[in-house]
Structure 1
Amino acid sequence: MPAAKSAKESNERSEKTTATARVRIGIGGWTYAPWRGPFYPPGLTQNRELEYASRQLTSIEINGTFYGLQKPASYEKWYQETPDDFVFSLKAPRYATNRKVLAEAGETIERFFASGVLLLRQKLGPVNWQFAPTKKFDHEDFEAFLKLLPASIEGQPLRHAVEVRHDTFKTPEFIALARKYKVAVVLAADSEYPQIADITAPFVYARIMGTSEKEAQGYSAQAIDAWAERARELAAGRTPGDLETCAEPPAKAAARDVYLYVISGFKERNPAAAMALIRKL
């Protein structure tokens, strides 16, 4: 798989650029029929698609975990099929976030982490807790939820991101709360959802959703250049000036890992856009 070496070399260059931070770029999931041909080579069997995708990209956001618990054997299989330096992010179960009283999510959260997630070992990246577009910001309600998120389990550190999609979250009060618990606010870009680019955690989690059928690489060359530069800025601990924020930036900029996923939009082009970003970095 000749492109695998290219992806790895590109990220090594990115690491040098951002000192101790690493920019990881990927897509959501790996099983999608329209990718067979444009992304997956003809004749590649479906059970080897993750093996192939993980050698073209540097991370994948697993979407199936949002809809239900996965089997421990699945996590072990995913671990075995991917390179040593590959990382998965996971969408947390909707049963934890799609509820009126977030403080009551504790049992669901515990069940999720006991389901085999830790079998990903060092390949376990951030967990994305996605909220419904109708969920409004309530300080007490949301802080009760953040208190339930474990910082580590069995000695394995955990990273958490919250994807909020209601305009009431665009407030300094929410940003202060996220910083208090060192939880990243998902940067949703090129979409209808509120854009909140404030840095609130030791890492950045971005989901860009603007790929188009009209562009062979999903995004124009100019847009790829722009997102590559934003990724570099974020990895250096700085918020790009063309992104929307709600509060003052942290007092001190520090290098941090960036997880950037090309999601939604014209999904058939998402792998091409992600690989173009890797090459550009």
Structure 2
Amino acid sequence: MNHRSLGDIRIGISGWRYRPWRGVYYPPKLPQRRELEFAAQDFNSVEINGTFYSMQRPESFRRWHGETPDDFVFAIKGARFITHMKKLRAVEPALANFFAQGLLALGRKLGPILWQLPPQLAFDADRLAAFFNLLPRTHADAAVLAHDHAPRFHGRAVVEAEARGTIRHCVEVRHPSFITPAFATLLRKHKVGLVVADTVDWPLLFDITADFIYCRLHGSEQLYTSGYETDAIDRWAERMVSWSRGQEVPDEAEHCTPRGIHCHPKQHARPARARDVFCYFDNDVKVRAPFDARALRTRVNALQGNAYSLQA
């Protein structure tokens, strides 16, 4: 982290290829192949969720890299084979395949990797620690891991680092057993972020556990469907600006770790001058996501004034 008064704020959408968006968010008759290019002129980041469902090909990652501006960033959703099927156990081969599929072709545009845990998976410190120890933390580490890919990926793998730098990881949880100080402590030890996931169905937690914040706004009233009105947009904008300044959000927000003057200071985030913030809207069903993301970007810009400006 360099010495800045504000961290980078990136606001975007989770995925970009949705049929109902055509003619509503995307202009009529816009070719499907140009949808990412269009979204990338609107937002400075998107979350790739296709990597959750299936392995992609190197040419896809290279094409996505070429269709976006130089300062664009992709967040990557980890494979459900690792999180939902293997449930984080014995995943070394699967991780090698995941990183070999082409992530490294994104180069400097490779942003945080999101590991979404299934609703049935309860907190297990040993299981999580073992998984965190396997995660590559730099492009070079990911390249070493990718070399161990399965034979079926020969000829369709990227196993060389095309950029230098760190790789950030974060976890989205959906089981109430994760609301424990031990979970936040474990994340901080391994420098893994805790996803702030806004939905009525899963825990909404605001613990800061890494040098960045990752938000997923799924719809606070109805999953994947309900939008965010002006008052909600204002609250999220204020939170994001506070986070970017290295601050915590007000104590009325829910945390794994109890708040208050009697809590040990090591249970909370270390003070910081700045933190990067990533926020993705996942309320795509009624085409609210891109318009809510635009509204949040506008409100954040207004709050920050001339001190900071997002890509418009």
Would you call these one fold, judging by a TM-score over 0.5?
Answer: yes
**Structure-2 change in CA distance of 1:71 and 1:259 (3 Å):** same
Equivalent residue for 1:273? 292
**For residues 71 and 101 of structure 1, what CA distance do their matches in structure 2 show?**
24
**Structure-2 change in CA distance of 1:153 and 1:269 (3 Å):** same
Residues 1:246 and 2:269 aligned together: no
Equivalent residue for 1:4? none
Give the counterpart of 1:147 among 127, 133, 138.
133
**For residues 205 and 77 of structure 1, what CA distance do their matches in structure 2 show?**
25
Equivalent residue for 1:194? 203
**Structure-2 change in CA distance of 1:87 and 1:201 (3 Å):** same
* 3-state DSSP of counterpart to 1:134: coil
Residues 1:123 and 2:133 aligned together: no
**For residues 169 and 34 of structure 1, what CA distance do their matches in structure 2 show?**
35
- Cα offset, 1:264, TM superposition: 3.0
Give the counterpart of 1:179 among 183, 188, 206.
188
**For residues 35 and 212 of structure 1, what CA distance do their matches in structure 2 show?**
21
Whether the 8 Å CA contact 2:247–2:271 is kept in 1: the answer is no
**For residues 135 and 280 of structure 1, what CA distance do their matches in structure 2 show?**
36
**For residues 137 and 23 of structure 1, what CA distance do their matches in structure 2 show?**
30
| TM-score normalised by length of structure 2 | 0.79
Structure 1 ranges of 4+ moved more than 6 A = none
Residues 1:85 and 2:71 aligned together: yes
- Cα offset, 1:20, TM superposition: 4.1
Total equivalences in the alignment? 261
**For residues 80 and 201 of structure 1, what CA distance do their matches in structure 2 show?**
30
Equivalent residue for 2:38? 52
Mean Cα displacement is larger for which, 237-246 or 172-181?
237-246
Residues 1:258 and 2:277 aligned together: yes
Equivalent residue for 2:175? 166
Whether the 8 Å CA contact 1:28–1:61 is kept in 2: the answer is yes
Equivalent residue for 1:97? 83
Deviations 1:255-278, CA, capped at 9 Å, x for gaps:
111000111364411100001111
- Cα offset, 1:153, TM superposition: 2.8
- Cα offset, 1:152, TM superposition: 1.1
- Cα offset, 1:192, TM superposition: 1.2
Give the counterpart of 2:48 among 55, 59, 62.
62
Deviations 1:119-165, CA, capped at 9 Å, x for gaps:
11111110001110000011111111111111113244101011111
**For residues 235 and 51 of structure 2, what CA distance do their matches in structure 1 show?**
31
**Structure-2 change in CA distance of 1:39 and 1:101 (3 Å):** closer
Residues 1:19 and 2:28 aligned together: no
* 3-state DSSP of counterpart to 1:209: strand
Residues 1:31 and 2:25 aligned together: no
**Structure-2 change in CA distance of 1:256 and 1:28 (3 Å):** same
Larger Rg: 2
> Match of 2:195, as an amino acid?
V
Deviations 1:220-276, CA, capped at 9 Å, x for gaps:
111111111111111122221142112242242331110001113644111000011
- Cα offset, 1:187, TM superposition: 0.6
Superposition CA RMSD, Å: 1.8
**Structure-2 change in CA distance of 1:35 and 1:270 (3 Å):** same
> Match of 2:77, as an amino acid?
K
Unaligned runs of 5+ in 1: 1-17
* 3-state DSSP of counterpart to 2:11: strand
Mean Cα displacement is larger for which, 232-241 or 162-171?
232-241
> Match of 1:81, as an amino acid?
E
> Match of 1:164, as an amino acid?
V
Mean Cα displacement is larger for which, 183-192 or 233-242?
233-242
Equivalent residue for 1:135? 121
> Match of 1:184, as an amino acid?
G
**Structure-2 change in CA distance of 1:266 and 1:99 (3 Å):** closer
**For residues 135 and 298 of structure 2, what CA distance do their matches in structure 1 show?**
35
Unaligned runs of 5+ in 2: 141-163, 258-266, 301-312
Whether the 8 Å CA contact 1:211–1:264 is kept in 2: the answer is no
